[in-house]
Amino acid sequence: MEYKDYYKVLGVAKKASDDDIKQAYRRLARKYHPDVSKERNAEEKFKDLQEAYEVLKDPEKRGAYDQLGSNWKQGQEFRPPPGWNANTRFNGAREGFSEEDLGGFSDFFSNIFGQGQRRSEGFRGFQQRGSDQNAVIKITLEDAFRGSVRNIQLQMPEMDASGQMHQKLRTIKVTIPPGVAQGQQLRLTGQGAAGIGGAESGDLYLEIDILPNHLFSLKGKDVYLDLPVTPWEAALGADIKIPTLGGRVGLKLAPNSQTGQKLRLKGRGMPAKPAAGDQYAILQIHTPPAQTSEQKEFYEKMAQTLPFNPRKGWPE
C-alpha cells in the first residue's frame, strides 16, 4: 500500500498547531468540495483531505501517525513497522471501524488505524513503541582516541498528559569508547522518542563526526602527520621528537631522507581490535630563507660544493 503524507495533503508543517490544521482543512475543503468545486479530481482530493484531517485533528491519532517516522514520502510503498499490531491495544474496544466507516478511507488508513478501535472511543489506551531518533555528535580527534564522557542536549518529541505532541529538551549522558571512527553510529537503547501509552521508548543513534585537527589527519584507523624537517636533518639524519595522539615519541631520521617519504610508527594510530592503527609521518623538507648577505653567501657556497640538479633527465 502507499504511504499517505497527511501533512502534505493539508499543506502544513509537521509542527503545525491544531488551529493551523483546522484552518488549512477548512480552506481546502471549500476549494475541493464536490458540490461546488470545478477542480480536476475534486472528489478524490476532498476524500484525501477528510482522511488527513481525521488523523491530524486528534492528538492521539496524530501522535500514533508521527511514530511511523519522518522518512516516508507521499505515494511511497509502505508496510506497517514490525510489531505494530502486537504493540497496540484499546481499552474496552474490541471491534474496529465499521466497513462503512473505512470505506471512505484509503488502505493506508485502514491498515494503520482501522484495527481494534472504535471511532467513538478514539485512541484511548493506544500503545506504540517510541520512534528511533538520529543525531550527530561532534568530537575532537583526541576524544575519539582516548574516549570520553559527554553530556549532550537534544530536542525530543514527547506526548504530554493531554495527548499533545511537543518537543522537550533532554540532557543525555553519552560514553564515547576509545577508537570510534568517523561516521560510526552509537546506539543508546531507550533514549529515543518516548513511547505512547506506556510503551517502551525508541533508541537514539548518534553519528560520530570527528572535527578536523591542526596537526593530524585520519584515514580509517591510521593517523597521518606532516613532519617538517630542516635540510641538514634530512641530509645528515637526526633523532627528533614528534607528537602522537598518545604523547611525544622519538623518531630516528635516516641520512639522505627526502620530502614525501613516509615513516611508519606501528600501533600509534587509533585503538582497534585486534590491532591498533599506525601513525605515518610524511617528511616535508623546509628550507630557511636567505635574508642576509651572509646567508646568501652560504647558499652560493652550497651550490658550488653540492652540485645537484633535481630536474636532471627532464626533456630539453
Q: Where are the domains of the chain?
A: 6-121, 133-210, 216-305
Interatomic CA distance for residues 316 and 309, integer angstroms: 14
Q: What is the pLDDT of residues 26-37, one digit of tens each?
A: 999 888 887 778
Interatomic CA distance for residues 205 and 172, integer angstroms: 12
Element (H, E) at 169: strand 165-176
Report the pLDDT value the prediction gives residue 95, as an integer from 0 to 100. 34
Domain spanning 216-305, CATH architecture: Sandwich (2.60)
Q: What is the pLDDT of residues 210-236, one digit of tens each?
A: 999 999 999 999 999 999 999 999 999
Q: What is the pLDDT of residues 248-267, one digit of tens each?
A: 999 999 999 999 999 999 99
Cβ(282)–Cβ(262) below 8 Å: yes
Per the DSSP assignment, residues forming a β-bridge with 190 are none
Please tell me the CATH code under which domain 133-210 is placed.
2.60.260.20
Q: How far is CA 197 from the centre of its chain?
A: 28
More confident residue, 130 or 16: 16
Q: What is the pLDDT of residues 113-171, one digit of tens each?
A: 654 443 334 444 556 777 888 999 999 999 999 999 999 998 877 766 655 667 788 89
- For the record, the C-alpha cell of 228 comes out as 617538517
Q: Which candidate, 120, 110, 53, places its Cα nearest to that of 85? A: 110
Domain spanning 6-121, CATH architecture: Orthogonal Bundle (1.10)
Length in residues, the chain? 316
CATH topology agreement for domains 6-121 and 133-210: no
Cβ(34)–Cβ(43) below 8 Å: yes
